[in-house]
Structure 1
């Protein structure tokens, strides 16, 4: 039987997992839209507007689902986690309020102009509206990640009568892990949107779309992916070093290290056994974990046995980390192959188009795996060192949570299937309905004019 704490955790994980799928696309997709719009303003070439018009529809659909799914998150603070707001509401409340007052209001103000004002306002105002929506989505990520990072590495507060009170809002917002989490998440969104655009564009080409627009969109996405992936690897390494400093038990779970040791090996694969506090079937690279984490092959890494009773569940953190890293390597390989085919072979064979379609939602997999590592890795704390998960949980009957969890899961499965089917339906209609404009035929002249992304 699942107790109310575990059921509440599963329900919140389900809600945040479904919700994060959409912001992780829209945060970066809006910056892609701004790029397409600025290229149209500068060149006047209609292919950029055709790209913009298709992807702004996709943005609108994705943004709507992100807003709707985000509403359910706030309900759970009262229904499933009353102890959270009772203890840290003085900090969490203002940060969530700032997100509404700045990011949401900014998005709401300019979103209508961006979606429906293309032929009703001057072009400069429409471009400005696209910029403001892009800024708004990034601001939203800023405030949400400030709160989440504070829960991981709390700072700038004091506890009075069991309640947290901010003493330094600068330290609260720019807590020790915030810069790393913020840029790591933005880059993850950039990669998610890159492979999202790449996959849908490849699907259109694979289905026989001879127009220039999907080719330019795919080229832009491949180049963006190739630029962002190495950057993400670098920022991810810095983020890991920060986590090693402030949450060593999380890193120990990620690496599957049980005993504190010098010259710790990096496990490529293992099956952690928490009951026996050991690993089975290890495949390791000697001393690499110490080298990465301490920059010394003989550096000391604390093991999980230093944190008995106060470390996270090992298996989900261990395997989640490897899924995230493995997907990142696959994304880098795909981007490298795509650029080689575009600039050396000058062609995109069907095999690559099929690979790109298969990688459409690879960013979702990497993002969810990384999110699980971050959130499960914080256990048993809801706010590290301040509020435990068990102390914040509701006291309502477990059956009530199980019922709402089942309803949420049913609705989310339906919405996710409908969303994906709608995306590919939009792509197919772009292939089957839109006619090729004379000025958009794939000629050398139009390529030189429109393929600015290649430079």
Structure 2
């Protein structure tokens, strides 16, 4: 039986709630920008199909936005309950960054969300488009502050330790720390790809079910254009992020490569498969490609990197976890590129809308973006261990002084409640997707009154027509 400590359980609790929460902002970021593009296309062309798609996806956006807010609030409380010593040490840095996220992004989103969701017939098209753009901008600003705080934990700078606390001395250095630009771009593009796969899978599913409407064709086509163009860009960004990680967190790179030691002057190989063994300090059943690791990580033919044996045992990430989470992320990314190229080839003669094999593949790839996103976060966060603030504060030193029993109890409550609450939310989103785009009558004026169209009192009301 595994003997889990309070720190282990607190880490798992944060990871569990984070795994749920990160899915919602990713889709929110992507859908908000997608809605802005749809409305811009409608303003420029006047085509009804873009109006229909806007109102279809705005319902799903509303549900997703609501679940994201709820799951985010729960995560914030854990800093005080499970990670109080971290909050005491780093609160002078992370507290203001998270406050800026509320003061800028959340207020911007909240201020214009009502206009975006319920103002189609109540404000002019220009003002409504502005509201949609500002909500989309708010989602990106939110990601900027959150990733600024998390990136500082990965590559901390711009602070001094005074009386046992991190005190900011240069906010520009704090925010624009070495890993921040790479992580922000990588995360934003991951959100766009996750949304494109979700939208594309929805369109492909409807085509497989015989719903071959202009709206369905349009959303599949737009999603595949995004996949074709952006998936290769993500590979380039991932390479740049990897080089940055090698420079500032070499132990993480050694762990995700399953690389223990250099063999004389032999170039670093790429391990396609293997089972890293932390106790025996080797990677079992390794399947290697000579020189390819050197080409990817050093951009040279005969390059080498530090092996895990060059780091103290108590400063090594769990190689088994990050080795496979990294390969899951990269493998799914390669499949995204293949899917995009396949769609480009099928566009000749309109085969994109007739190929059942491609449509089935697009449906199967629907959750791939979110799975890759989760795998990437596992690689990032587990690869940072045993540090909470890299090189400054160890994870064990940041946890609250709880026993294992109360943390286990709250974890069990989270697991049960999350699967119930958010399971219902996911089911409702899929119900909306199955209904598909409907023709929206933009000329119908709001009536108000009992049983008639009225101004809803909450964001989730925007999705009530999907029931």
TM-score, structure 1 as length reference: 0.93
**Could you say which residue in structure 2 is the equivalent of 1:451?**
none
Q: Please, which moves more after superposition, 353-362 or 146-155?
A: 353-362
The residue aligned with 1:266 is 270
CA contact (8 A) 2:51 2:440 kept: no
Deviations 1:312-357 (A, max 9, x none): 1111111010000000011111121122222355343222222211
Deviations 1:76-111 (A, max 9, x none): 011100011110110000000000000000000000
The 2-side partners of 1:282 and 1:21 are apart by 33
Alignment equivalent of 1:315, drawn from 320, 333, 355? 320
Query: What SS does the aligned partner of 2:369 have?
Result: helix
> Which residue of structure 1 aligns with residue 383 of structure 2?
377
Residue from 193, 201, 204 that aligns with 1:202 = 204
Q: Distance in 2 between matches of 1:429 and 1:14?
A: 31
Distance 2:38 2:185 in 1: 23
Range that drifts further, 173-182 or 419-428:
419-428
Write the mapping of 1:12-411 to structure 2, written as runs, cut at 5 A: 12-261=14-263, 262=265, 263-308=267-312, 309-344=314-349, 346=351, 347-411=353-417
Runs of 4+ in 1 over 6 A off after TM superposition: none
Residues 55 and 440 in structure 2, CA contact (< 8 A), matched pair in contact too? no
Aligned partners of 1:424 and 1:7: how far apart in 2? 32
Corresponding residue SS for 1:396: coil
Aligned residues: 435
Counterpart contact for 1:341–1:348, Cα < 8 Å: no
Say whether the 8 Å CA contact 1:203–1:427 is kept in structure 2. no
Q: Tell me which moved more, 94-103 or 398-407.
A: 398-407
- Separation (CA, whole Å) in 1 of partners of 2:212 and 2:270: 48
CA displacement at 1:207 relative to structure 2? 2.0
| Structure 1 residue 421 displacement after superposition | 2.2
State the secondary structure of the residue aligned to 1:270.
strand
Q: Mind listing any 5+ residue stretches in structure 2 that lack a counterpart?
A: 442-467
The answer to whether the 8 Å contact 2:24/2:67 transfers is yes
> Shift of the alpha carbon at 1:204?
1.9
Cα shift at 1:358: 1.4
Change (3 A) 1:421 1:351: farther
Q: Deviations over 1:33-76 (max 9, x none)?
A: 00000111111111110010000111111111111100011110
SS at match of 1:377: helix
Q: Which runs of no fewer than 5 residues in structure 1 stay unpaired?
A: 438-455
Residues 220-279 of structure 1 deviation map (CA, whole Å, 9 limit, x = unaligned): 000001111000000000000000000000000011100145411110001111110011
Give the secondary-structure state (helix, strand or coil) at the position aligned to 2:156: coil
SS at match of 2:274: strand
Q: Distance in 1 between matches of 2:439 and 2:104?
A: 41
> 2:96 & 2:436 partners in 1: Cα distance?
44
**CA 1:297/1:208 → structure 2, altered by over 3 Å: closer, same or farther?**
same
With over 3 angstroms needed to count, the CA separation of the structure-2 counterparts of 1:274 and 1:106, relative to structure 1, is same
Q: 1:418 aligns with which of 402, 424, 441?
A: 424
| Alpha-carbon distance in 2 for matches of 1:436, 1:258 | 60
Q: Is the 8 A contact 2:294 2:302 kept in 1?
A: yes
SS in 2 for 1:425: helix
1:137 counterpart SS class: helix
CA distance in 2: counterparts of 1:343 and 1:85, whole angstroms: 57
Asked if the contact 2:202/2:433 (under 8 Å) is kept, the reply is yes
In 2, Cα distance between equivalents of 1:342 and 1:430: 23
Match of 2:459 in 1: none
Distance 2:350 2:113 in 1: 40
- Alpha-carbon separation, structure 2, partners of 1:435 and 1:49: 8
Deviation at 1:427, TM superposition (A): 2.6
* Alpha-carbon distance in 1 for matches of 2:107, 2:151: 23
Partner secondary structure for residue 264 of structure 1: coil
